[in-house]
Amino acid sequence: MIRTLVVDDDFRVAELHCAYVEKVKGFAVAGRAHTGAHALDAVERLRPDLMLLDIYLPDMSGLDVLQRLREEDRPVDVISITAAREVESLRTAMRGGVVHYLIKPFLFATFQEKLLSYASARERMVRLAQAEQLDVDRIFGALRTAHNQPLPKGLSDTTLDLIAQALSQSRSGLAAAAVADAAGVSRVTARRYLDHLCQLGKAELTMRYGSPGRPEHRYRLIAG
């Protein structure tokens, strides 16, 4: 099991991320922290394999935590999970050696992909005594997620974004016809994209029973 430390200043968000970690095969929550100082102390006490690190913390920046970890040569990998969109924050995180940089809000499917790609790369390294170039390429290739793969034939990233944006307007879900109207596409087109989002685990299809007759199919984003 990959023992994971969750660091976030928001108690509810930290609890949610802990629940997400427990849902991903091969991962377990080692602990949680809500400040930078607590995070550094937890790394010392718990010796986690992975830290999910928020950048906006009440006592210090998560980037400062990352720098301290590297200065003290702590053997913990870091995935940044943050609302910080500044390019300088991204650049500093990359320099600090983060494995992934995940921007809030995100879908559980995206979260899961990041963790599983990290687990795959980690497993490849554990099996190696010495790395050849092909091994290095495979390890870094394992860190690429399914989001980098091309969409099925006939689907476009632009329309997919429109469908997801339309769907995000309702927490309770929308019928395909309502999504089609909001996105400005035909109902058939909307259904294709909605079904694709469900296949990716980014959306779910539910039945809504109201007046007598056929139940209404409704789609809802699964958001993190």
Q: What is the pLDDT of residues 143-187, one digit of tens each?
A: 665 444 567 788 888 898 899 889 888 888 899 999 999 999 999
List the chain domain ranges.
Answer: 2-148, 157-221
Q: What element of type H or E holds 53?
A: strand 50-53
Read off the pLDDT of residues 14-44 as tens digits, 9 standing for 90 and up. Answer: 999 999 999 998 999 999 999 999 999 999 9
3-class SS shares of the chain: helix, strand, coil, % to 5: 50, 20, 35
For 2-148, CATH number out of 3.60.15.10, 3.40.50.720, 3.40.50.970, 3.40.50.2300 equals 3.40.50.2300
Structure token digits, residue 107 = 């879908």
pLDDT score for 224: 40
Fold classification of 157-221 is Arc Repressor Mutant, subunit A (1.10.10)
Read off the pLDDT of residues 63-113 as tens digits, 9 standing for 90 and up. Answer: 999 999 999 999 999 999 988 788 888 899 988 889 999 988 888 888 988
